[in-house]
Structure 1
């Protein structure tokens, strides 16, 4: 009887995790025969769980609409997943940290003792990585408005705020009038929320930082469009004008790269800014804990660097070039002994010397 009850609870948990399950797949998951699974389904139906049968080649079983599974139906793996998810949830929404802690405590209270022990076995202390640059927390009302517009395909009218979330006025250099946006995707990447949308006025796809938007929902619906390249991750990462701002570092510098902005944006570290110059050049503005760190990151792009700023970064480029020139390979005696070229002092770090 105990084995049957555990299997029935596991079956109910599986049915609640997605819309439809083929009988054969349920039997495999439960390590039972198809006949046993049918019997367990009938048992749950007698307990008033609305499990429906879907006929046809793609048929199976699903839990009826409108039925909510209580948290105590989680199995051990799900309990651990919930505990981890709530403790590692991004702190990019106002109040999310407190709400997540309260949600975890509420779920633990209704869990059976063995499952509660599984959840309590993982108590995490989160440490921020040096390269994590999450956006300022977003008001949950704005995030919900954007998410609802994406889900229901309703046009948003949105103003773009400054990095400090102040509202630019007409006549300011950074003033952008409210735009009509068709919101297609809500994305979280590196602790920052982005909205991928189609600008109705400019007829262009854009990536917006949600924390820098003041959204106003409308009732106007729109038809789904095909994203350029049909690759959401690549589109977001290669967009250089996402609205990202420079992170606070001990050393901040910049250089002109002989690479397109979309290429550099895809591989630039978090907390950096990429400025489009022309189709073949861009400026990368970034920081690190030392000038040598900034120079080293610039070197990873393997291209000519010009207009390097400030002079501290120029000196770091010269120092690294000198150090690297003295590196010996395995049995390779053909190494450059030339000191860094004088052109670096003029703000050019090409790596040719």
Structure 2
């Protein structure tokens, strides 16, 4: 029975390449007979996989598109590629894609063998980042998926947390009821109810380590205001390491959303798009606006950010002047 199951899974993996396989070719790949291949194909059909038969010379078997996504069978290299791609998407600029990537990454990492996790970590360690991306905090996939699963399953979570040094808070072990993961700017935040402080708290995920789900399950609490994302954004605005900047970008709002929608709030405007950004580093404004290649103007900008940008622009102007000379 074990041999039959293994062979059937291998057959499914071959068919998921979405090419037409001759029965003889499948039999050779599976080290079996064409008759056995036919029986295995019928077994897959009974399980709900739409395997089509193509008769005549050059015919064979192929997997047709189904009404629902069936369980996938991937080899080791494909599994590593999936994890690597999902990690990149989780920190990428596409609006809406990051959240879906985290959910998918959590499911994959949950069943990934330790050997393949090490291979995926090696790929990330040896990857070269583009200029500007190196400053984005590196997320630990293990912590990201552990927290995501705890949110999904409403499971108590403990972890070590290192607050910003200027906050004056001492690093320590935290015990929380996790609610949501929220991406803001270039970072991920966990919104959770702190069981020791008896209040809602927002935690930066890149400062979180050794996350462990506990056995206790809980009924999710209602966050004040009812909107987890809005609560996190408001709490960051009240913090000392965030500045709110509003800009009017003179280009199509949908284009702006597709480029920086994950990093900012984008609203339609008669003259283009109104962008609200929360930043802790003025350099990110230049990176985001530079990627749009469009004219823009500031509607609201804190004096500290304006001062820093003026200094940067003065240095760039001087360098251009010297280059022209």
* Bigger radius of gyration among the two: 1
TM-score (norm 1): 0.38
Question: Could you say which structure has the higher helix fraction?
Answer: 2
